[in-house]
Structure 1
Amino acid sequence: MRKEELFVKRGNLLWEGSRMMLPEHKEGWLKLQQQESYIPLHEPLSEDSWQELGEIIMDAIRQQYDTTVTFWHDGRYHSLDGKVTKYDDLNKRIKLLLSDDYEWLNLRMIKDVCRKH
């Protein structure tokens, strides 16, 4: 049997043993990945930024236009597209109507709200 045939038949011998991963190794690797990609919560918004954000939210509620809301959750920034339908002043949160569901978002976690074009 030629060397090329042996290689094709048995695969890359250098990496044959590395396909197995113990659950402990996988768990540790995933935890390390999460720690490396963790983004701390953004600094509190300035008074001007809060006012601008509030105006955008109230305008979005009145005119019912589509918005993109960027917010922080579990160490990452996420974006959701939908319509802001309600502002809860008591709990400091907004209700975002998605295509088939809704999401309550805490104002402290929101980084940006912009009109979707």
Structure 2
Amino acid sequence: MRKEELFVKRGNLLWEGSRMMLPEHKESWLKLQQEESYIPLHEPLSEDNWQELGLTIMEALSEQHCVTVTIWNEGRYLPLDGVITKYDDLNKRIKLLFDDDYEWLNLRMIKDVCRKS
């Protein structure tokens, strides 16, 4: 193989090892990615959806079975698996117990609750 043919087939290998990104560029690129993937908070649930959500929460609370709660958090929907241990009607929130920790979840941020199979 001649030297010219080798040069043509190697593509852009001359510059492959010298790629770099400035911290400012990386920061702005990550910010852009975050803005593009941002999902706004869902509209308030309808009365029927609230009743269905409330029934599912009360059933999970009384039977202590594992549920998957989909919540909105900083522009993304996150599924959380755990057991609902308390319902705080005054502050409109539920307590979700994980393996060794718990978290209070605001009902306004909850989009869906379903029983985990």
| TM-score interval, smaller chain | 0.7 to 0.9
Deviation at 1:14, TM superposition (A): 4.0
CA–CA separation in structure 1 for the residues paired with 2:37 and 2:16: 28
Cα distance in 1 between the residues matched to 2:36 and 2:75: 10
Q: In the alignment, what sits opposite 1:111?
A: 111
Corresponding residue of 1:45 = 45
Shift of 1:15: 3.4
Residue 64 (structure 1) aligned with residue 64 (structure 2) = yes
Gaps of 5+ in 1: none
How many angstroms apart in 1 are the aligned matches of 2:30 and 2:94? 32
Identity %: 70
SS in 1 for 2:28: helix
Superposition deviation, residue 102 in structure 1: 0.6
TM-score under structure 2 length normalisation? 0.88
What does residue range 87-106 of structure 1 map to in structure 2 within 5 Å? 87-106=87-106
Give, in whole Å, the separation in 1 of the partners of 2:46 and 2:16: 53
Question: What corresponds to 1:77 in structure 2?
Answer: 77
Q: Give the aligned residue type for 1:73.
A: N
The count of aligned residue pairs is: 113
TM-score by length of 1: 0.88
Q: Secondary structure at the match of 1:39?
A: coil
For residues 47-91 of structure 1, give each alpha carbon's deviation from its aligned partner in whole angstroms, at most 9, with x where no partner exists: 010011011101101000110000100000000100000011111
Where does residue 16 of structure 2 map in the other structure?
Answer: 15
Q: 2 CA distance for matches of 1:26 and 1:14? A: 20
**RMSD of aligned C-alpha atoms?**
2.0
For 2:16, the aligned partner's letter is W
